[in-house]
Amino acid sequence: MKKITKTKEPQIHFAALAADTALFTLENNELLVRLIRVNRPPHIKDAIGLPGGLLLPKETADEAALRHLESKTDVSNKGVYIEQLYTFSDINRDPRNRVVAVAYMALIPWKELSENEQLGNITKSWWVPVKKLPKLAYDHNKIMEVALRRLASKIGYTTIIKKLLPREFTLIELEHAYETILGEKIDRRNFRKKIKKLKLVVSLDKKIRGFKWRPAMLYSFKSNKVEHTPNIT
């Protein structure tokens, strides 16, 4: 019988692996992303980028993404929804070394953030409206494009938007969340018809008060899981 010899493949490791995350939240009908200060002299000085960093030896990319997210943004990753987007492996995406980045998108409801998490800190990490996104380090603007496209498309066929909303919300809030992410107006009556038909949310039989207008009925999603649905938008 033919002896099969071991293929001579290089066993050394050529590229470092990083996990970079676009963390989104929704406040006051604006989609915000959490950015950090990036300093990597001599090539990158006082730049701005997405939170991320290298994988540890015994760590999956998902774990690394969550770890760096929390340590570099000071936003607790408890309650954060995260999903992998795409892996970027261009040779020169990092000017110093060969680094391959697994990009992630993460979501957190604004109301689950502490006051400090909401405020941020301009020297370390803070929220920026995606409409006013600055030039970012590395290929992070490319990651943002993928993340925004993924988010906008995914709210159309899943219930992922629940990961940006508080546990209890009004149908108007839900509608505004869609409008903000899609960047277009939705007809209120048609929207409510569709949401009710899909039976994804349940009325809590209580109303939000404290505004000077008519109180709005509160709703909740029936489950915490991100589920597929017939087209919503």
Partner DNA sequence: ACAAAAGTGTTTCATATACACCCATGA
Partner DNA sequence: TCATGGGTGTATATGAAACACTTTTGT
List residues binding DNA (CB under 7 A). Answer: 170-172, 187-190, 192-194, 207, 209, 211-217, 230-231
Name the segment binding a second copy (CB under 8 A); options: 86-94, 170-178, 183-191, 212-220. Answer: 86-94
From the list 144, 114, 139, the residue with the least C-alpha distance to 129 is: 144
Using CB under 8 A as the binding rule, whether residue 15 contacts a second copy is answered as yes
User: What distance lies between CA 83 and its chain's CA centroid?
Assistant: 8
Q: Counting contacts by CB under 8 A, is residue 54 touching a second copy?
A: yes
CA neighbor of 110 nearest in space, from 75, 147, 70, 150 = 75
The SS3 of residue 111 is helix
* Token pair belonging to 228: 């597929």
Query: What token pair was written down for 41?
Result: 């002299």
Selection from a second copy, DNA, none that 211 binds (CB < 5 to 8 A by kind) is DNA
Q: Which does 57 bind (CB under 5 to 8 A by kind): a second copy, DNA, none?
A: a second copy
The minimum distance between CB 209 and DNA, in angstroms, equals: 6
Q: What percent of the chain is helix, strand and coil (3-state, nearest 5)?
A: 30, 30, 40
What is the token pair recorded at 59? 């760590």
Residues 107-136 close enough to bind a second copy by CB under 8 A: 123
Binding segment (CB under 8 A) for a second copy, from list 56-64, 105-113, 175-183, 191-199: 56-64
Q: Does the N-terminal peptide bond of residue 42 adopt cis geometry, omega within 30 degrees of 0?
A: yes
Q: Restricting to residues 153-172, which ones interact with a second copy according to CB under 8 A?
A: none
Contact footprint for a second copy (CB under 8 A): 2, 4, 6, 9-11, 13-17, 37, 39-41, 46, 53-62, 84, 86-87, 89-91, 97-98, 100, 102, 123
